[in-house]
Amino acid sequence: MTVTVHFYSYFKDLTGCEQVTETVDAGCTLGDLHRNLVARFPKLAAMERAMLIAVGVEYQPHSYVLKEGDEVSLFPPVQGG
Amino acid sequence: MTITTEPIDEAALLSQREISEGMGAVVYFLGMVRGTEGSETITGIEYEAFQRMAEHQFELIFQQMEKRWPIESVRLVHRVGVVKTNEPSLWVEVVAPHRGEAFAACQFLIDEMKRVVPIWKKTLIQP
């Protein structure tokens, strides 16, 4: 199945793109996807402790099991105001 | 709640204020773009938002505020795009029966925004 991954803020610079489409196996978790993305975009590895992950408009833990068509977003700590 | 590239029109926002008779406190907060960041002089800040999620997360914060304090209303405007030094990037109004809950709710809103609402900033350094 496929999921779309969006990058925000300087994560776009670290990956060189705004979004990618990833093909994952059924049962794949956000944690699994995260590992795949770090392997594909090694510059993300340094941000591991300062990375927020959402599916749709909600934050989700690494244990979240992905579904077909999920929109995943990866971004650094937020800085509004 | 509005996330906009347009400048914040404080006069217009104030003119739209609605308060019922039981309300005794209105707290306003303005977030301003400072002219310095550390030792550097900056000309402004460029804000980026994941707008759909930002609006949702603001709504979740408003719901928490309504559960914790007897507030009557919350209005919020956040700029995105380039905001020049000395211009407001954030405008907040909290209306409540008493000042304690109005101040506490406003403080909570700002603190939570800085924790969960997906908005980021990039300082624009003076060349």
pLDDT band for A47, please (50, 70, 90 cuts): very high
Q: Is the pLDDT of residue B127 over 90?
A: no
Task: Identify the pLDDT of residue B102.
Answer: 98
What CA–CA distance (Å, rounded) separates B57 from B116? 7
Looking at residue B15, its pLDDT comes to 97
pLDDT score of A66 more than 90: yes
Q: How far is CA A53 from CA A8, A62, B6, in A?
A: 11, 8, 29
Q: Is B114 left (phi over 0), alpha (psi -120 to 50) or beta?
A: alpha
User: Tokens for B87?
Assistant: 């211009």
Q: Residues A4-22: what's their mean pLDDT?
A: 97
How does the average pLDDT of chain A come out, rounded? 96
Interface confidence (ipTM) of the complex: 0.94
Q: Do A81 and B114 touch (CB under 8 A)?
A: yes
- Convert the pLDDT of each residue in B21-79 to its tens digit: 999 999 999 999 999 988 899 999 999 999 999 999 999 999 999 999 999 999 999 99
- The domain ranges of chain A are 2-75
What domains can be seen in chain B, in order of their start residue?
Answer: 2-7+23-125 (3.90.1170.40)
B78 contacts in chain A (CB < 8 Å): 80-81
Rounded-to-integer distance, Cα B81 and Cα B44, Å:
10
**Separation of alpha carbons A40 and A2, rounded Å:** 16
Q: Cβ contact (<8 Å) for B120 and A79?
A: yes
Query: What pLDDT digit, counting tens, does each position of B76-122 carry?
Result: 999 999 999 999 999 999 999 999 999 999 999 999 999 999 999 99
Angstroms from B27 CA to nearest CA on chain A: 16
Assign A1 a pLDDT band (cuts: 50, 70, 90). Answer: very high
Q: What is the pLDDT of residue A49?
A: 85
Domain A2-75 indexed as CATH 3.10.20.30: yes
- The pLDDT assigned to B91 comes to 98
Determine whether the interchain pair B120/A75 forms a contact, defined as Cβ–Cβ distance below 8 Å.
Answer: yes
